[in-house]
Chain A
Amino acid sequence: MSTAPVIYQTEAGKPVYGILAEFATPADVYHAAEKVRDAGFTKWDVYSPFPVHGIEEAMGMSRTKLPLLVGALGLSGACIGFGFQYWVATQGYATVVHGKPYGSWQAFVPVTFEIGVLFTAFSALLGMLIFNGLPRWHHPLLAKERFLKVGDDKFFIGIEAADGKFDPKGVRDLLLAAGATSVELVED
């Protein structure tokens, strides 16, 4: 099923990013999110000053694959760390220490662990940022005066014009019916 994307424009001729609705409390935005989810939208998001408990289910979000990436990179970091130490001890600069075999692995455990931790930490932070499409310098929503309260105490739902089901009138009515205190158009 593929329909040609409709490109919406404002009267001034600027492309439309989407529609932004403000909600007063976490409960309001939670229940509104359930309604938007049930209406079948895909390109939309809930914005809140803190992660609202259970919003993943209310939005019908799938679980992130981040832990798999982090686990894989962490383990490969540990392998690289161990391999490097083994190479140094047996090939690079083979020296008899404690009268033990060159490759006796027990002494390599602490550094292997630390390198694994280092890779895990970097992949958790950088993976989170990359999956989130960050860093970015600007976003259409951040040009909205009302939206700048999102880090303070306001809650928002934004539905993007790129969503196949987007139509300005219908989205507006849906969000108002879901209890939005204000609805406005966001230019791209």
Chain B
Amino acid sequence: MSAIHPDQSTAAKLSGALRQPPEPEYNPQTGDGSLVDDPSVRALLVLGRNTTFADITETVCGYIEKGPGRWFWPTFFVAAQVAGLMPIMILYLIITGVGVWGLNNQVDWAWDITNFVFWIGIGHAGTLISAILCLLKQKWRTSINRAAEAMTIFAVICAGTFPGIHIGRVWMAWMLFPIPNYNAIWPNFKSPLLWDVFAVSTYATVSALFWFMGMIPDFATLRDRAALRLMRNPDSGQMIPLLNMRADRVMAIAYGLLSLGWRFSSRHWHRYEKAYILLAGISTPLVLSVHSIVSFDFATSILPGWHTTIFPPYFVAGAIFGGFAMVLFLMIPARELFPGMKALITLRHLENMAKIILVTGFMVGFAYSMEFFIAWYGANRYEQDVFVNRATGPYAWAYWTMIGCNVISPQLFWFKFCRQSPVVIFIVASFVTVGMWFERFVIIVSSLHRAFLPGEWHMFYPTPVDILTFVGSCGTFLTLFLLFMRFLPMFAMSEIKAVMPQASPHKH
């Protein structure tokens, strides 16, 4: 964070060198101006009639070059401390054994797999926003796609940890992959757990490629800005003590390496756009396949409560639902903390996401009721018993928490003022995030805890290690997201510019 003296910044403003990021004015009818009900009027994707391309560059690059503000490092410090719990708990688990978790003979999957499915579900909104909304030509995706993609990667990192550490003998985790070994043993490709390994690792890789590819032009913009400052003044930028280099020099080198020499050539853009569409096209079935395969882990077993064909679509809908909630949960505070972000993420964008939450909330609500219907209609006594137990048994509190958070709380979005109020959206998004964790807990633990014979009935009680590992994964997620906000372009500048009205070559 480079400190500009107040007088300097006033002088810069007066001379026009430092443009203020456009702050939207509040209007009681249209909020920030984006809430237009007239279908013949196209709401602005970027607010401010006079917003120029340079304003977008200045705002987005400013978050990196000037730093996010005083709140950042204290928040980061706290998040990093919480994140530190995760490796400590994992180390404790490895040197002691899975007995440190509250698992027992009956409930042999609990918080570990709940956390895995929770995080992988959150990861789905990123690819959904990037890929499906891209194919559907939903231009408003440009406001949130980069942050959502980043969130995807970090959620998948958290998700991938849990199956890796739940296997008991962690040092044998390499046997999940088809690696030649001297016992000539190969994995069982007919097992859904193995499909899961391939689905999740492919998803992580492809999401990372997609994210990186989207950032190449923005890295080039950051590189060129640093290079321009250095060209004008070789000593520009703050001194970074450990590296013994100026910040601008570091940025020119780091973003220069990441930009791969991108030079905004139209012949390159042509292939870039084609590759982007291909990636979007292939990511769409991928995102649907990943959570379907995750659901196969359950659906292909013969356990009542898991053995059901509704799982793949139900899991995918739930993932989109939970993922959008997490995007809102992160971006609504970010909108307040970063100057000028309200012009990029407008109230209309938030309203659109609130509507998606309402729709996908109905889908999961439908799935919850359909499970009960099929349990009754299928006339399988064990299946019926599992569902009666789920709603009235010892885990009824978890079940009704899930219903309250996932089915009832989104109903607020029927009311326009709720859809248009960032505070209400934030509260509902938090409820949905909690509800989605409980959904996975209910599916896993309430189905497992009572098997066919009463002698096999056990309750699951989490230990402090269970709880702190999960808390640590939340800290890891937040730490990575904060680093992303500090060092990487938070918005796809080239894509935002391309959807602005003055980008059309046929406008004079």
A residues sitting closer than 8 Å to B (CB atoms) are 25-27, 29-31, 45-56, 58-59, 61, 64, 66-67, 70, 74, 84-85, 88-89, 92-93, 95, 97-98, 100, 104, 107-108, 110-111, 113-115, 117-118, 120-122, 124-125, 127-129, 131-132, 134-139, 141-142, 145, 148-153
Contact = CB atoms under 8 A, between A and B. Distances in A.
Contacts of B191: 97
Nearest to B265: A45
B182 to A, nearest CB: 13
Contacts of B184: 92-93
A115 B198 CA distance: 8
A140 B291 CA distance: 47
Interface in B37-62: 52-54, 57
B190 A89 contact: yes
B264 A93 contact: no
B285 to A, nearest CB: 7
A137 B263 CA distance: 11
Question: Which of B187, B210, B279 counts the most chain A CB atoms within 10 A?
Answer: B279
Nearest to B286: A117
Contact of A152 (B185, B202, B224, B506): B224
A50 B503 contact: yes
A152 B269 contact: no
Contacts of A74: 282
B274 A67 contact: yes
Contact of A151 (B225, B266, B293, B503): B225
A68 to B, nearest CB: 11
Question: Which of A46, A100, A117 counts the most chain B CB atoms within 10 A?
Answer: A117
A141 to B, nearest CB: 6
Given A117-B285, A138-B261, A148-B224, A59 B195 contact: no
Question: Which of A30, A127, A148 counts the most chain B CB atoms within 10 A?
Answer: A148
Nearest to B217: A151
B260 interface: yes
The 6 A-B pairs of least Cβ separation, nearest first, read A151-B221, A30-B505, A153-B53, A135-B260, A128-B275, A50-B498
A125 B57 CA distance: 25
Interface of B: 52-54, 57, 178, 184-192, 194-195, 198-199, 202, 205-206, 209-210, 212-213, 217, 220-221, 223-225, 227-228, 231-232, 260-275, 278-279, 282-283, 285-286, 289, 293, 296, 493-495, 497-498, 502-508
Given A110-B199, A152-B54, A55 B231 contact: no
Given A64-B270, A110-B289, A117-B282, A150 B260 contact: no
B261 A148 contact: no
Given A74-B282, A124-B282, A51 B52 contact: no
A121 to B, nearest CB: 4
Contacts of B212: 125
B274 A118 contact: no
B260 A129 contact: yes
Given A97-B191, A127-B275, 8 more contacts: A46-B266, A47-B263, A49-B497, A51-B273, A53-B505, A70-B275, A98-B190, A111-B198
A114 B272 contact: no
B261 to A, nearest CB: 4
Nearest to B505: A30
Nearest to A116: B282
Given A53-B504, A137-B261, A149 B274 contact: no
Question: Which of B189, B191, B212 counts the most chain A CB atoms within 10 A?
Answer: B189
Nearest to A30: B505
B266 A55 contact: yes
A50 B494 contact: yes
Contacts of A84: 178
A49 B195 contact: no
B275 A66 contact: yes
A127 B272 CA distance: 10
